[in-house]
Amino acid sequence: MNFLARIPTWIILHRGTSAMIACGFGVAVVACTRYLETDKARTERAQRKKEKELRAVADRISLYGRKVQDRFPTGNVVVCERDLAAEL
């Protein structure tokens, strides 16, 4: 029991080592999770990631459109594909 009571003190005194151990444990958990993941779960995760990236691009395009509308409130502007690509 005395050993268990000293663990928090050791963690405080050895912050760097504790952080490295925690990071190593986290990496191991992520690696095991990915390795044991089923094909269905893997495809669903990839699909969620793709949807998230698509949503981020759509948000950036929307923000760019709002900025252009603020600069040209009458709507007398043509945005070419090159301008949009340069902005993104």
Number of domains in the chain: 1
Position 76, amino acid: N
Q: What is the domain range of residue 41?
A: 2-87
Give the Å distances, CA to CA, from 78 to 58, 60, 63: 19, 18, 16
The pTM assigned to this predicted structure is 0.54
| Euclidean distance between CA atoms 18 and 30, whole angstroms | 18
Question: Taking the C-alpha atoms of 14, 16, 18 and 23 in order, what is their torsion angle to the nearest 10 degrees?
Answer: 180
- Which pLDDT belongs to residue 1? 60
Which pLDDT does position 3 carry in this prediction? 79
Lowest mean pLDDT among 5-9, 19-23, 49-53: 5-9
What does the pLDDT look like over 29-81, one tens digit per residue?
999 988 888 889 989 999 999 999 999 988 888 888 888 888 878 877 667 77
